[in-house]
Amino acid sequence: MRFSDQFEQRFAEMVTHYPTKRSVLVPTLLYAQDEVGFLSDEVIAELAGRLELTVLDVRNVISYYSMLTTKPRGKFNVQVCTNIACLLRGGEELLEHCEKKLG
């Protein structure tokens, strides 16, 4: 996997600011996702190798954070809050309306 020179420079800098390679995983995943668009198997394997982690370790972190994705997303990402406070203020109706309009 070949990242841009800007990514390579940023990655090298980020690694020096964290106590362990594992602790730089989330910022690196976010930065890689911004560059590539999503976290493909190739990106995951590359970052796991660089950070001396297993692919499973990386996938576990990705599955925990909703802002990380392993599938390409559309140009726009619409998210609707559905926790209890939002539901009490009409979040569910808003979600249903969006689903009808957007498919």
* Domains contained in the chain, CATH given: 1-72 (1.10.10.1590), 74-103 (no CATH)
* pLDDT for residue 19: 95
Closest C-alpha among 28, 49, 53 to residue 39:
28
Q: What angle do CA 11, 42, 34 make, to 5 degrees?
A: 50
C-alpha–C-alpha distance, residues 40 and 32, integer Å: 10
* pLDDT for residue 42: 98
Pair of tokens at residue 89: 């203020």
* pLDDT for residue 57: 98
3-state helix, strand, coil in the chain (%, to 5): 60, 0, 40
What's the pTM value of the predicted model, to 2 decimals?
Answer: 0.74
User: Which position has the token pair 């726009």?
Assistant: 76
* pLDDT for residue 38: 96
Return per-residue pLDDT of the chain as tens, 103 residues. Answer: 789 999 999 999 999 999 999 999 999 999 999 999 999 999 999 999 999 999 999 999 999 998 999 999 887 778 888 889 998 999 899 989 988 998 7
* pLDDT for residue 68: 96
- DSSP readout, 26-58? HHHHHHHHHHHSS--HHHHHHHHHHTT--HHHH
* pLDDT for residue 22: 94
C-alpha–C-alpha distance, residues 37 and 93, integer Å: 30
The set of residues, in sequence order, having a beta carbon less than 8 Å from that of 21 and lying 6+ positions away, is: 15, 50, 51, 52, 53
